[in-house]
Chains A and B, each alone.
Chain A
Amino acid sequence: MYATADMLLTSPAPAAPEQSHETAIEVVLVKAVLEGDRDGFTRLYDLYAPLVHGILLARVPRAEVDDLVQDIFLHAFKKLHTLRESSSFGPWIAMIARNRAVDFYRRSRETVEINDELRGSNTQDSRATEILELIRNLPEAYRETLVLRLVEGMTGPEIAARTGLTAASVRVNLHRGMKLLREQLGFMEGL
Chain B
Amino acid sequence: MNDDYLWDKTGEPDPQVQELEEILSSLRYQPKPLQIPNELRLPQRRNYFPWVAIAAGVSLAILAGGIWLSTRSHGDAPQRQAEVTPPAPVKEVTPSAPKTPERKNESPEEVVAVHKHRPRASVPVLSKREREEALMAKEQVMLALRLTTEKLSLVHKKTQNTNPANQIKNQHRVG
Query: Which residues of A are interface residues toward B (Cβ below 8 A)?
Result: 31, 33-34, 36, 38, 41-42, 45-46, 49-50, 53-54, 57, 62, 66, 69-70, 73-74, 77-81, 83-86, 88, 91-92, 95-96, 99, 124-125, 127-129, 131-132, 149-153, 155-157, 171, 174-175, 178, 181-182, 185, 191
Name the prevailing secondary structure of the B interface residues: loop
B51 within 8 A of A: no
Name the prevailing secondary structure of the A interface residues: helix
Residues of B within 8 A of A174 (CB): 3, 6-7
Q: What is the chain B residue whose CB lies nearest that of A31? A: B165
Within 8 A of A (CB), among B104-149: none
Q: Are the C-beta atoms of A50 and B29 separated by less than 8 Å?
A: yes
Q: Are the C-beta atoms of A99 and B175 separated by less than 8 Å?
A: yes
Q: Are the C-beta atoms of A33 and B6 separated by less than 8 Å?
A: no
Chain B interface, number of residues (Cβ within 8 angstroms): 38
What total of A-B pairs shows CB separation below 8 Å? 121
Query: What are some 23 contacts across the A-B interface (CB < 8 A)?
Result: A33-B42, A34-B45, A42-B36, A49-B32, A54-B29, A70-B32, A74-B40, A77-B42, A81-B42, A81-B46, A83-B174, A84-B170, A84-B171, A85-B169, A92-B174, A95-B175, A132-B24, A150-B17, A153-B21, A155-B7, A155-B9, A191-B16, A191-B20
Residues of B within 8 A of A62 (CB): 27
Residues of B within 8 A of A99 (CB): 174-175
Q: Are the C-beta atoms of A78 and B43 separated by less than 8 Å?
A: yes
- Of A74, A96, A132, A185, which contacts B36 at CB under 8 A? A74
Q: Are the C-beta atoms of A128 and B21 separated by less than 8 Å?
A: no
Report B124 CB to chain A, min CB distance, Å: 54
Report B45 CB to chain A, min CB distance, Å: 5
Residues of B within 8 A of A152 (CB): 28-29
Report B170 CB to chain A, min CB distance, Å: 7
Question: With A150-B17, A152-B28 as given contacts, are A83 and B171 in contact (CB-CB < 8 Å)?
Answer: yes
B23 within 8 A of A: yes
Within 8 A of A (CB), among B19-47: 19-21, 23-29, 31-37, 40, 42-46
Q: Are the C-beta atoms of B174 and A153 separated by less than 8 Å?
A: no
Q: Are the C-beta atoms of A41 and B25 separated by less than 8 Å?
A: no
B76 within 8 A of A: no
Report A170 CB to chain B, min CB distance, Å: 9
- Of B32, B46, B167, which contacts A66 at CB under 8 A? B32
Q: How far is the CA of A73 from the CA of B16 in the complex (A)?
A: 34
Q: How far is the CA of A79 from the CA of B165 in the complex (A)?
A: 17
Residues of A within 8 A of B20 (CB): 131, 150, 181, 191
Residues of A within 8 A of B45 (CB): 34, 81
10 new A-B contacts, CB < 8 A, other than A49-B31, A66-B32, A74-B34, are A46-B31, A81-B42, A81-B45, A85-B169, A91-B174, A92-B171, A151-B24, A152-B28, A156-B8, A178-B17
